[in-house]
Amino acid sequence: MTLPTPQSLFGLQFPSDPQLSPDGQMAAYVLSRVEDENQLEQASGAPAKLDDPKPRYFSQIVLASAESSRTLTTGKGRDTAPRWSPEGQSLAFLSDRDGKNQLYLLPLGGGEARALTGKAQFPQGVSAAQWSPDGRKLAFLAPEGEADKRDERGEARVITRLKYRANGSDFLPDVAAALWQLDVESGNITRWLAPQQAISEFAWWPDSRGVLFVSSEDEVSGAMWQQEAYDLPLEGQPRRLTDWASLISNLSPHPDGLRFAAHARLHTERNDSDSHVYVFEPAGESGSEPYSAQRLDHHDFPAGNIVAGDLHVGAFPDKPRWLSGERLLFLATQGGASGLFEVSLSDSAPQPHTFDPERVVVGFTANAGGAVWISESATEVTQVMLNGVQVSHCPAPDFALSIPKRIAFTNELGEGEGWVLMPAGTQSAPALLNIHGGPHTAYGHGFMHEFQLMAARGYAVCYSNPRGSVGYGQAWTSDIFGRWGSIDAEDVLNFFDRCLAELPLDSSRTAVMGGSYGGFMTNWLTSHTPRFQAAVTDRCICNLISFGGTSDIGMRFWDDELGGNFHRSADTDKLWAMSPLKYVEEVKTPTLIIHSVLDHRCPIEQAEQWFTALRLQGVETRFVRFPEENHELSRSGRPDRRAVRLEEYLAWLDRHLGM
């Protein structure tokens, strides 16, 4: 029998960034697929090495209605970020067909797309284009000047800012990207704002008088996730609206042009606190006082989709959307599922709009005329849904899929849950304990090609939501504050023992694996128990002290998670006591280490320390380093590297679990 391979990933398609038409009856979205770059080069007349395949992501814009769909853009480039003009007659989008992303305009009545920006003015490309509601302007972000080539030239780099690198970006630019205005009729482009600190997002006010944007007061505030909202008129300087000093994202201006909704977290709350939907509004009559904020989603679940899935290539919008001046639609995570909920300003008890407890809504847009969203389940790949009608036709993997079996476990807070994907026709299957990252994320009903592949290869794939996971109430999420490696470890092992007791699994052939926080927990478990026959630790953490000074979130992460940080001598004993590296002498489990060189979230020095320590201890260890990739390799990394990663997993498991 021919076993499925990691290359089955190449046959899948990846819809993203669904955008609803102004009348609510059509959708534009991005469809990505994997193709051999060499073959595309040959088709365009360029010389190509067909004996050396280069599988890469390529993407086009698709236009769909309930009755039909058609591809709007073609070619070898990557076309993304479609945005409807307010009258619904054209689409602005980004494309890298000439190198870096530039802004294009496509008339939907016929004709070719024309470039609105070019590499002569924007050699580093543009991003985040948005129409003004009156249709006269497009605003976008773009850095000025040429790209930083100091490393290529071998020049020294002088660092003075607290945060100078970021996962997915490597070194941050010395100057934040500017905000630009483009007059659609004339084509004139003017710099609107050169911000002192980076603009994380912006949104037009409904009367087109200007934009609302999110930034920080200074570079230290930005590094510490202390954000504010600002008003920027068409003419004039920005004005700070809030005194928030905490997370603000997913801006959604109210139709009255005064208020706005957003995902936010109070400044008194930590990273383990769920973000929620707030409405910000002017306070007082003078207009000079900071905006006040009222929480709108009065339920015990976080805003947005936080359920894992590995088909999420591209952008997945999840900002709240006003259906009227009274009603708001938003995305939230409940248990291992997520969906759309509706809430009114007069009654803040959220009501389900599109929620199935065994499905995940990955992203959406909506208006008074309808909604479009991307949905998936554990056994169904991502598809685009327009007003409840499936308008995409993405193929499933070319192997049989396993239906998850729910397994419950209990602890002091009540019942937790997890799932098992069982292989077909096996009486005593080897079992894999998978641990998610975060730790404040969730496994559940998202589609996981990786898990399904492993089940199809004969492994029972066990995955759960221990304390610290989201979607089960704030008490469940926050219960691990200050005690990583204690009750969370108890939960994952308790769950795994339930799997072994309830299902035909081989307890003598087991492995533990996980990424990010899941990599921390993998290292923690193998340094505290010899019960597993193999381990795979991916983008891991092993030394909490060195992590604090090398991670792009290390400046405050341990304060938020554990109540201490690496730069205070009073806290280092506590951090070292929770570091797997302290207990590395107890590790006996053969360990595969997977890490990306440009991972600045969990820096590669963590993997290097773990590898060296294991080798010095005589533990069988294999260290696989991926160039150019970051923390997102397993979810949206280059497809050939994603396949190599899975090949390494399977070879290690087959070897040590006797497959």
pLDDT for residue 41 is more than 70: no
Nearest to 488 by CA among 439, 526, 538: 439
Q: Give whole-number Cα distances, 159 to 36, 152, 168, in Å.
A: 40, 17, 19
Q: Does residue 3 belong to any structural domain of this protein?
A: no
What's the token pair of residue 34? Answer: 């994997």
Do 352 and 447 sit in the same domain of this protein?
Answer: no
Can you tell me the distance from the alpha carbon of 224 to that of 245, in angstroms, rounded to the nearest whole number?
A: 9
262-269: Cβ within 8 A, 24+ apart: 262/229, 262/319, 262/320, 263/303, 263/304, 263/319, 263/320, 264/293, 267/226
Can you tell me the distance from the alpha carbon of 541 to that of 527, in angstroms, rounded to the nearest whole number?
A: 13
Nearest to 177 by CA among 153, 150, 147: 147
Do 594 and 473 sit in the same domain of this protein?
Answer: yes
Do 473 and 345 sit in the same domain of this protein?
Answer: no
What pLDDT shows up at residue 597? 97
When pLDDT is cut at 50, 70 and 90, the band that residue 47 belongs to is low
Radius of gyration of the chain (CA): 25
Q: Give whole-number Cα distances, 574 to 40, 256, 484, 521, 540, in Å.
A: 55, 51, 11, 17, 19
Q: Does residue 270 belong to any structural domain of this protein?
A: no
The answer to whether residue 252 is catalytic is: no
Comparing 159-173, 264-278, 283-297, 338-352, the range with the smallest average pLDDT is 283-297
When pLDDT is cut at 50, 70 and 90, the band that residue 39 belongs to is confident
DSSP letter for each residue of 552-571: TTTTTHHHHHHS--TT-HHH
What pLDDT shows up at residue 513? 98
pTM: 0.97
For 561, phi and psi rounded to 5 degrees? -95, -35
Helix (H) or strand (E) holding 545: helix 544-550
pLDDT for residue 522 is more than 70: yes
Read off the pLDDT of residues 386-438 as tens digits, 9 standing for 90 and up: 999 999 999 999 999 999 999 999 999 999 999 999 999 878 999 999 999 99
Do 339 and 377 sit in the same domain of this protein?
Answer: yes
Residue identified by tokens 């030394």 is 543
Read off the pLDDT of residues 531-572 as tens digits, 9 standing for 90 and up: 999 999 999 999 999 999 999 999 999 999 999 999 999 999
Q: Are 100 and 125 in contact (CB under 8 A)?
A: yes
Partners of 252 in the β-ladder: 261
Do 525 and 640 sit in the same domain of this protein?
Answer: yes
What's the token pair of residue 282? Answer: 């002017």
Q: Which of 631, 634, 636, 656 is catalytic?
A: 631
Can you tell me the distance from the alpha carbon of 383 to that of 13, in angstroms, rounded to the nearest whole number?
A: 9
Domain termination site, one of 339, 370, 396: 396
Q: Does residue 174 belong to any structural domain of this protein?
A: no
Q: Does residue 226 belong to any structural domain of this protein?
A: no
Q: Does residue 69 belong to any structural domain of this protein?
A: no
Nearest to 637 by CA among 20, 1, 12, 57: 57
pLDDT-above-90 percentage for the chain: 93
Do 411 and 371 sit in the same domain of this protein?
Answer: no
Q: For residue 638, give the CATH number of its domain.
A: 3.40.50.1820
pLDDT for residue 347 is more than 90: no
Q: Are 357 and 406 in contact (CB under 8 A)?
A: no
Do 380 and 409 sit in the same domain of this protein?
Answer: no
Nearest to 379 by CA among 401, 362, 395: 401
Can you tell me the distance from the alpha carbon of 372 to that of 366, in angstroms, rounded to the nearest whole number?
A: 6
What pLDDT shows up at residue 50? 62
Read off the pLDDT of residues 598-620 as tens digits, 9 standing for 90 and up: 999 999 999 999 999 999 999 99
pLDDT for residue 42 is more than 70: no
Domain termination site, one of 352, 380, 396: 396
Residue identified by tokens 């088709």 is 43
pLDDT for residue 95 is more than 70: yes
Domain region containing 648: 404-543+582-657
Q: Are 310 and 448 in contact (CB under 8 A)?
A: yes
Do 336 and 435 sit in the same domain of this protein?
Answer: no
Residue identified by tokens 């849904």 is 385
Q: Which of 32, 132, 252, 516 is catalytic?
A: 516
Mean pLDDT of the chain: 96
Q: Does residue 552 belong to any structural domain of this protein?
A: no
Q: Does residue 458 belong to any structural domain of this protein?
A: yes
Do 597 and 531 sit in the same domain of this protein?
Answer: yes
Do 506 and 633 sit in the same domain of this protein?
Answer: yes
Do 376 and 444 sit in the same domain of this protein?
Answer: no
Domain count, the chain: 2
Q: Does residue 414 belong to any structural domain of this protein?
A: yes
What pLDDT shows up at residue 285? 76
The answer to whether residue 631 is catalytic is: yes
DSSP letter for each residue of 287-319: S-SPPEEEE---SSS-BS--B--S---S-----
Can you tell me the distance from the alpha carbon of 135 to that of 137, in angstroms, rounded to the nearest whole number?
A: 6
pLDDT for residue 348 is more than 90: no
When pLDDT is cut at 50, 70 and 90, the band that residue 287 belongs to is confident
Q: What share of the chain is helix, strand, coil (3-state, %, to 5)?
A: 20, 35, 45
Read off the pLDDT of residues 190-240 as tens digits, 9 standing for 90 and up: 999 999 999 999 999 999 999 999 999 999 999 999 999 999 999 999 999
Do 459 and 532 sit in the same domain of this protein?
Answer: yes
Strands 337-344 and 351-354: what pairing?
A: antiparallel
Domain termination site, one of 371, 396, 421: 396
342-349: Cβ within 8 A, 24+ apart: 343/277, 343/296, 343/297, 345/279, 345/296, 348/295, 348/296, 348/297, 348/298, 349/298, 349/299
Can you tell me the distance from the alpha carbon of 178 to that of 187, in angstroms, rounded to the nearest whole number?
A: 18
Task: Give the mean pLDDT of 351-364.
Answer: 98
Q: Are 491 and 466 in contact (CB under 8 A)?
A: yes
Task: Give the mean pLDDT of 48-71.
Answer: 89
Q: Are 575 and 562 in contact (CB under 8 A)?
A: yes
Residue 330's contacts (CB-CB under 8 Å, 6 or more residues apart) are 261, 277, 297, 303, 320, 321, 340, 341, 342, 343, 350
Nearest to 217 by CA among 239, 244, 197: 197
Read off the pLDDT of residues 452-499 as tens digits, 9 standing for 90 and up: 999 999 999 999 999 999 999 999 999 999 999 999 999 999 999 999
Can you tell me the distance from the alpha carbon of 457 to that of 625, in angstroms, rounded to the nearest whole number?
A: 24
Q: Are 387 and 66 in contact (CB under 8 A)?
A: yes
